[in-house]
Structure 1
């Protein structure tokens, strides 16, 4: 299991580095600890990648209408596809530039995960890290499967795959991995919040055990509880700050990628309905069906994972306050411990956080209602325009 996880992690990291989303090098320290360092090589690589994307898209443009579209597609769908492709290319280029200019900020965020881990690992008696490797493998494997399915289908469906790949496929693949990276980081944060809440629940037993035992042991447990409460408070505060930093870092990409997801869903659902609406049977119809479902899964799955994990983090934040209140109400404790918990409880009351893209689009489960509502609304409008265009 550990070997498979390591291979999968290295493979996913290699993909992030290939598309310019991992601008760092990993340095191994003492006691198997690691840290992430800035490197100029990946900055240069990202700039070369951006120049390559600009050049290849300028070269492809004259071939678009001649070689890519079939005769059954209307002018509106061609124009929409072209605008979608080049707009998303511009977004991907800007995201790559953000990784270049905000390299230190991104690396600082990742290193803070390690700092929180090191801090929490000091609580060896009661702190136990929840195993989230299964969730990481689930997210990564399914995303790779959907992306691979789209690539394979496109190879068989498009004679000029090299044109379609750089015209629109590459952009959607990159945006998919961008959102998946966001989901992976949120998964790590969720694990930390779960561990902190679990530690507070175990701490409740330690606090309750102070009174019926002898004074010396009671004093040891008392000091241990004070230290652990302070460590947990600081870790929770740092995680809360990390949530805000990560949400801000990915806000630009999510703000523009989500509309592209909606448009892609509309186009693919429409293409699924074309044989029914027009009574036209495309060649390789079954393969086209597989491709369209794979496309929808590829663009929707990463956002679904981000939304689910973000909602779980928000629930864990609220759960911390409930646990602290429960300890205060149900346990007898020393004045010092009660004071620390009351201060922490007041701090939690002022921490109202929601994952958003620049406070415009929510990135928790409420985003699914936004996506599906927009798809249903604009699909009807798109079908009507296509019918008028066909006339």
Structure 2
């Protein structure tokens, strides 16, 4: 705990925000280490945190078994909620087990990010642009947590009234799934800020001003400074995108399961809410009035910021190619610089950026459009189906 607090207060790396929060939800099965002999921070495997993640999955499994065993006794009006809860329970359990059994991989990825951060700071005295702040991470985190709290408040009152504390486990399952998406989004944003900074440094070579970040690159002449900087930035971008690919590979299965449950919840909750508004004249229960719209907003919010960050990765890479050609024009008379830039440009043009989940669908703004269109389509079909049943009954 002492090391964790020390890491939280550390100003040397912005990874602190990413690591400290997610431990409580079982999505950080490692510990932070501060060696006494050097200032380099690193992460290592923690049996205690792995056991915690595994123990956290036990209530979710217990809830799943309870719902499956008692499914035949569930009242018809509660079937929808129970089906969603069953999906939440098994997906959250799978995610926690996935972290337990693959903890070495996520530790290696985060350690690579920490090493990359330290190298940027040692070579350029910074790791992100001066224009960048941590507001995005903080705002995303606070917004998601507020939406989750608004969603669960009615369930807490219902749990107290019915003395059924299985609701707490259901809420925990939903939190784990949402926090997973938030964790991935913040990590991708972390990569984005470093890509943006490398592009900014590359652009400084053209603008010839504000070069304070470049004076930390040791060289004897101006052209050597430019050549050395280009070489370093090329290495850094290649290294950062390799880390991003590893990050995408690690989260591929959990994100696929999470998007599936998000789509199911969006369709079912939007249908349930629309059904109450269209077919019933009586007042909508408070739990439905708060929970159902909040759930839809929460799922849409996390999907939007997730796809936005994935899209920005591609945009920053394309921007690198454009800046390279500007630098080539500015240093057209220097053969060594031209050769290095041409190799850099070839790498950028032929580099494949991971932007899909198992090739099933692209992770960009088109995913938001596709999900929205699917939800509306199924909503219309379900509402129309229910309306026709009412006509036949009449």
- What TM-score results when the alignment is normalised by the length of structure 1? 0.85
Q: Which moved more, 1:130-139 or 1:274-283?
A: 274-283
Counterparts of 1:202-241 in structure 2, within 5 Å, are 202-205=204-207, 219-241=220-242
CA offsets, 1:147-204, max 9 Å, x none? 11112122234534523333x4332221110000000101100100010000001122
- CA deviation after TM superposition for structure 1 residue 58, in Å: 2.3
Q: Does 1:300 align with 2:305?
A: no
Q: Which moved more, 1:111-120 or 1:178-187?
A: 111-120
Q: Does 1:50 align with 2:57?
A: yes
- Taking the aligned partners of 2:271 and 2:59, their CA distance within structure 1 comes to 32
**Structure-1 residue corresponding to 2:321:** 321
Q: Does 1:162 align with 2:169?
A: no
- Taking the aligned partners of 2:127 and 2:305, their CA distance within structure 1 comes to 27
**Structure-2 residue corresponding to 1:189:** 191
Q: Does 1:107 align with 2:107?
A: yes
**Structure-2 residue corresponding to 1:212:** none
SS of equivalent to 1:121 = helix
Q: Contact 1:140–1:180 at 8 Å: present in 2 too?
A: yes
For 1:28, which of 27, 34, 42 is the aligned residue?
34
- CA deviation after TM superposition for structure 1 residue 63, in Å: 5.8
Change in 2 beyond 3 A, CA 1:175/1:13:
same
**Structure-1 residue corresponding to 2:180:** 178
- Taking the aligned partners of 1:313 and 1:367, their CA distance within structure 2 comes to 16
**Structure-1 residue corresponding to 2:140:** 139
Q: Contact 2:331–2:337 at 8 Å: present in 1 too?
A: no
Change in 2 beyond 3 A, CA 1:12/1:274:
farther
CA offsets, 1:184-234, max 9 Å, x none? 101100100010000001122459x9xxxxxxx995222222221111111
**Structure-2 residue corresponding to 1:213:** none
**Structure-2 residue corresponding to 1:350:** 350
Number of residue pairs aligned between Structure 1 and Structure 2: 371
CA RMSD, 1 decimal: 3.0
Q: Contact 2:92–2:177 at 8 Å: present in 1 too?
A: yes
Change in 2 beyond 3 A, CA 1:127/1:224:
farther
* Unmatched runs of 5 consecutive residues or more in structure 1: 210-216
- CA deviation after TM superposition for structure 1 residue 96, in Å: 1.4
Larger RCO (CA within 8 A; separation ≥ 6): 1
- CA deviation after TM superposition for structure 1 residue 277, in Å: 2.4
Q: Which moved more, 1:256-265 or 1:343-352?
A: 256-265
SS of equivalent to 1:249 = helix
Change in 2 beyond 3 A, CA 1:386/1:32:
farther
* Unmatched runs of 5 consecutive residues or more in structure 2: 1-5, 212-217
Q: Contact 2:331–2:338 at 8 Å: present in 1 too?
A: no
- CA deviation after TM superposition for structure 1 residue 263, in Å: 1.6
- CA deviation after TM superposition for structure 1 residue 15, in Å: 4.9
- Taking the aligned partners of 2:379 and 2:89, their CA distance within structure 1 comes to 24
- CA deviation after TM superposition for structure 1 residue 389, in Å: 6.1
Counterparts of 1:217-296 in structure 2, within 5 Å, are 219-282=220-283, 284-285=285-286, 288-296=288-296
- CA deviation after TM superposition for structure 1 residue 386, in Å: 3.7
Q: Which moved more, 1:305-314 or 1:87-96?
A: 87-96
SS of equivalent to 1:178 = helix
- CA deviation after TM superposition for structure 1 residue 127, in Å: 7.0
- CA deviation after TM superposition for structure 1 residue 282, in Å: 4.2
- Taking the aligned partners of 1:123 and 1:219, their CA distance within structure 2 comes to 16
Q: Contact 2:109–2:247 at 8 Å: present in 1 too?
A: yes
Change in 2 beyond 3 A, CA 1:387/1:63:
farther
Q: Does 1:363 align with 2:363?
A: yes
